[in-house]
A and B are shown apart, each in its own frame.
Chain A
């Protein structure tokens, strides 16, 4: 691949993904409910998660188990013992003005380090190194009126304070916004296969991204609210940096905020040096002893992961590896696929529909599969309609967006909108006669050159709004032309 000096090889991206362990019922250090979405502010709180003087954290061991399963899935090294550190900094969303987290320096021992994930970019597998996976507590949620810089005041909702977060840090191995998105998609799929996190929930997956181009300084984009936004934010930031460099202005090392509404990054603070978090051990929590038998027990309970599932899909259903990769990059997509196949449809047919039209449609609507009412039963019904000759593939493509949006049965949509395929010979012959009369020049051309037949078929499809059975239409137009020819040659 040829690249200019701004080319793909010159971009280095590292990610810090923050994933809530949404399958946990309680917070990381207290027994408050972690199910804060849609709840009245500051109702799911106790002295511990509010940081009330005298309160002490008590570790939720289930959170450690889930985190260990993720660490195993990401092929990380897991130490015999791990402990928590305090990350000290002042910010209004922190109930204690320190965050209980983990650390890999100053004698710290995070839950796991040195892992890796494979992603598929342009049919090639690429290894992304995972620096560490560790547990920490989520801060409170700051609520602004309008945007962060225009809000006259800030409200603090501590319901989220203390929810278990998994921080997953990569090396700067990613070389484009698209790769970043593919990686995050893969990560999300792994977490969803493990059942530890539902990435579809608002705020369940957030991201910080470090980015540098042509060896320039590192710019950090903080708090990108979802994996969907990451690609956008990175694209903007690369364009911004390229623009600066092309004007001869040097890029500053700084921290920027991604403004989702305006779709721009804004400078938060210039970094003269790394912020000093004064990490030191959290001595209110005792070290966690990670025994071999505990790990073995967790391993034995691990569900099938995306990579294994990809291989199984190719073997069990004869899918091409590429199809299997796309399907398993999203747990809900792979589940959808397998449900359709279980309902009796040919794997490759289902896969084709999912990978092309369904995904395109979701992309256009900016929706996740799980956010729609679309069901495997619907898709299977639609394929059956095609197979039974009730609708054409073209009609199917036409009604798919409506199916996805409304969750309506395809049979019903087709019926209501009168889209059933015309396969009656006489009805079609009549319409072909009309098309030929309306387009005499095209008929003349077609009589001389067979290729021009397609124009007439197109016109017929237009007239029937795609309802004509294409095979039959082709056959009948040819017959009609042959008839015309014989009339011309025998005066």
Chain B
């Protein structure tokens, strides 16, 4: 914070904005105004006492509702967890609290992060602030929409197959999927644990880098978190990409990419070239297999991760005396989960069943290895890769809701990064008919600095950051 306005003023203004637009956007599931103002007051008190305050002092931040917050309801947008109050904070929440951020609420999402549009929420869909009849993207749609609509300065999302980058692209905010292992997953309610990472969403690249600096770092409570020195990612934000080598994998521009999206992307790439970078077309030959491999792995993991929701220890429960335990489990899960969640659990269970394990799950793991090698090969030559974030502009609410396969197809440009364990950031590279188009900048594992630098330079030399959605307060 610049210190120009107090934390209480900042938080109050955000809640004022929420009162104005939230009934149309529906970015939040739970708002914590009282707690937020209390925390903001504490920060102001610290400042007035001349005490040192954290990097995020007084900044209102929204948190995706699959990240555990002690004492604050955390639902995963599911009936199953509609009354679940975690007894602990996720590590990332602990870290932002230590930096004096102010949590303003929990954001809407697709149920258990399964979706690409935030339409699959038990609490109803989030609307795209750029055009309310359109989806905000998913599954971190609430987080992206909140930032885009001015209902939050920063937000945390989670990205399993594009769940940060997709809504960031659809809502024209900056969203980053960190390298697997960079950010602790402790406290992130698992959907597909080998793929997902918590990451930042922000209005601009600087804020995104700042939030990443706070949440990244080794956590002994997460065995998969990697013990590397902590970095300040804002230090990478030079407005200079001279000498940077960009690879443009041609597969990303082949089937399914809307011509308007492709056009925006090429303009963006040309812009980067004009800023001193060089680019070259390249190939990731196994990219075509990434979508089926991704869904197999994600569903298999989901079937196991979601097994714990049986109504015994927390959350929703069907409480009927006439049922034995097995029937009570089934009934709880039948009523507690939405259709998409059940679809993925059933498919995942099937893929892990003896006899199918080798044919589906193991094969998907092999494809994952091939895709990882494709990326490794590309990164021997290039500093970053550039691709569309989404193959199409934001679509209408309800347009794809009854066609799961069409919905899954939307993830085609984002899932390879998760399979390969790379990092990726999305920035807006233009607007088509008033709807934002995202450019995805992909980096090799733990090279967040490089993609942030490219994103920053692009942002500083294009006008898109300052375009705000035409959402008037009432």
User: Are A52 and B86 closer than 8 Å at their CB atoms?
Assistant: yes
A286 partner, pick from B86, B224, B304, B353, beta carbons under 8 A:
B224
- Given the known inter-chain contacts A52-B86, A53-B86, A54-B90, please indicate yes or no for A278 contacting B187, CB distance below 8 A: no
Chain A residue nearest in CB terms to B188: A54
Measured in the bound complex, the distance between the Cα atoms of B108 and A486 in whole Å is 117
Interface bin, chain B: 35 or more
Which chain B positions have C-beta within 8 A of A98?
Answer: 304, 307
User: Are B329 and A90 closer than 8 Å at their CB atoms?
Assistant: yes
Which chain B positions have C-beta within 8 A of A285?
Answer: 223
Determine if B326 is an interface residue (Cβ-Cβ < 8 Å): yes
User: Are B313 and A51 closer than 8 Å at their CB atoms?
Assistant: yes
User: Are A286 and B223 closer than 8 Å at their CB atoms?
Assistant: yes
A58 partner, pick from B67, B221, B307, B326, beta carbons under 8 A:
B221
Measured in the bound complex, the distance between the Cα atoms of B308 and A50 in whole Å is 10
Measured in the bound complex, the distance between the Cα atoms of B308 and A286 in whole Å is 22
Measured in the bound complex, the distance between the Cα atoms of B185 and A56 in whole Å is 8
User: Are B313 and A50 closer than 8 Å at their CB atoms?
Assistant: yes
Chain A, interface SS category: loop
Measured in the bound complex, the distance between the Cα atoms of B187 and A284 in whole Å is 13
Q: B219 to nearest A CB, angstroms?
A: 9
Which chain A positions have C-beta within 8 A of B308?
Answer: 51, 53, 95-97
- Given the known inter-chain contacts A56-B223, A95-B313, please indicate yes or no for A280 contacting B352, CB distance below 8 A: yes
Chain A residue nearest in CB terms to B222: A56
Which chain A positions have C-beta within 8 A of B285?
Answer: none
User: Are A56 and B221 closer than 8 Å at their CB atoms?
Assistant: yes
Which chain A positions have C-beta within 8 A of B67?
Answer: 54
Which chain A positions have C-beta within 8 A of B86?
Answer: 47, 52-54
B352 partner, pick from A59, A88, A97, A286, beta carbons under 8 A:
A88
Measured in the bound complex, the distance between the Cα atoms of B68 and A55 in whole Å is 9
Determine if B295 is an interface residue (Cβ-Cβ < 8 Å): no
The 0/1 profile, CB within 8 Å of A marked 1, for residues 71-94 of chain B is 000101000010010111010000
The 0/1 profile, CB within 8 Å of A marked 1, for residues 327-349 of chain B is 00100000000000000000001
Determine if A475 is an interface residue (Cβ-Cβ < 8 Å): no
Measured in the bound complex, the distance between the Cα atoms of B353 and A95 in whole Å is 22
Which chain B positions have C-beta within 8 A of A58?
Answer: 220-223
Measured in the bound complex, the distance between the Cα atoms of B312 and A285 in whole Å is 25
User: Are B329 and A54 closer than 8 Å at their CB atoms?
Assistant: no
B301 partner, pick from A47, A55, A283, beta carbons under 8 A:
A283
User: Are B353 and A278 closer than 8 Å at their CB atoms?
Assistant: yes
- Given the known inter-chain contacts A54-B68, A59-B223, A284-B224, please indicate yes or no for A97 contacting B87, CB distance below 8 A: no
Determine if A27 is an interface residue (Cβ-Cβ < 8 Å): no
User: Are A276 and B354 closer than 8 Å at their CB atoms?
Assistant: yes
User: Using a CB-CB cutoff of 8 Å, which residues 68-124 of chain B contact chain A?
Assistant: 68, 74, 76, 81, 84, 86-88, 90
Determine if A57 is an interface residue (Cβ-Cβ < 8 Å): yes
Chain B residue nearest in CB terms to A59: B223
User: Using a CB-CB cutoff of 8 Å, which residues 258-303 of chain A contact chain B?
Assistant: 274, 276, 278-280, 283-286
Measured in the bound complex, the distance between the Cα atoms of B78 and A63 in whole Å is 37
User: Are A55 and B186 closer than 8 Å at their CB atoms?
Assistant: yes
The 0/1 profile, CB within 8 Å of A marked 1, for residues 281-321 of chain B is 00000000000000000001101100110101110000000
Measured in the bound complex, the distance between the Cα atoms of B329 and A280 in whole Å is 22
Measured in the bound complex, the distance between the Cα atoms of B320 and A262 in whole Å is 32
The 0/1 profile, CB within 8 Å of B marked 1, for residues 220-254 of chain A is 00000000000000000000000000000000000
Measured in the bound complex, the distance between the Cα atoms of B300 and A238 in whole Å is 41
Which chain A positions have C-beta within 8 A of B304?
Answer: 86, 88, 98, 278, 280
User: Are B224 and A283 closer than 8 Å at their CB atoms?
Assistant: yes
Determine if A92 is an interface residue (Cβ-Cβ < 8 Å): yes
Q: B68 to nearest A CB, angstroms?
A: 4
Measured in the bound complex, the distance between the Cα atoms of B187 and A53 in whole Å is 7
- Given the known inter-chain contacts A88-B352, A97-B307, please indicate yes or no for A156 contacting B68, CB distance below 8 A: no
- Given the known inter-chain contacts A51-B313, A106-B357, please indicate yes or no for A280 contacting B194, CB distance below 8 A: no
Which chain B positions have C-beta within 8 A of A284?
Answer: 190, 193, 222-224
Chain B residue nearest in CB terms to A284: B193
User: Using a CB-CB cutoff of 8 Å, which residues 4-55 of chain A contact chain B?
Assistant: 47, 50-55
Determine if B275 is an interface residue (Cβ-Cβ < 8 Å): no
The 0/1 profile, CB within 8 Å of B marked 1, for residues 87-112 of chain A is 01010100111100000001100000
Measured in the bound complex, the distance between the Cα atoms of B352 and A53 in whole Å is 22
The 0/1 profile, CB within 8 Å of B marked 1, for residues 299-332 of chain A is 0000000000000000000000000000000000
User: Are B221 and A280 closer than 8 Å at their CB atoms?
Assistant: no
Measured in the bound complex, the distance between the Cα atoms of B187 and A184 in whole Å is 42
Which chain A positions have C-beta within 8 A of B221?
Answer: 56, 58
Determine if A154 is an interface residue (Cβ-Cβ < 8 Å): yes
Q: A106 to nearest B CB, angstroms?
A: 6
A sample of 15 cross-chain residue pairs with beta-carbon separation below 8 angstroms, ordered by A number, consists of A51-B313, A53-B308, A54-B68, A55-B187, A88-B307, A96-B307, A98-B304, A106-B357, A106-B358, A280-B352, A283-B193, A283-B224, A284-B193, A284-B223, A285-B223
Hey, which bits of chain B sit against chain A, CB under 8 A? Answer: 67-68, 74, 76, 81, 84, 86-88, 90, 185-190, 193-194, 220-224, 300-301, 303-304, 307-308, 310, 312-314, 325-326, 329, 349, 352-354, 357-358, 361-362
Seed contacts A47-B87, A53-B86, A58-B221; 11 additional CB < 8 Å A-B pairs: A52-B87, A52-B314, A54-B188, A86-B304, A88-B304, A92-B310, A92-B325, A95-B308, A276-B353, A278-B352, A280-B361
Hey, which bits of chain A sit against chain B, CB under 8 A? Answer: 47, 50-59, 86, 88, 90, 92, 95-98, 106-107, 154, 156, 274, 276, 278-280, 283-286
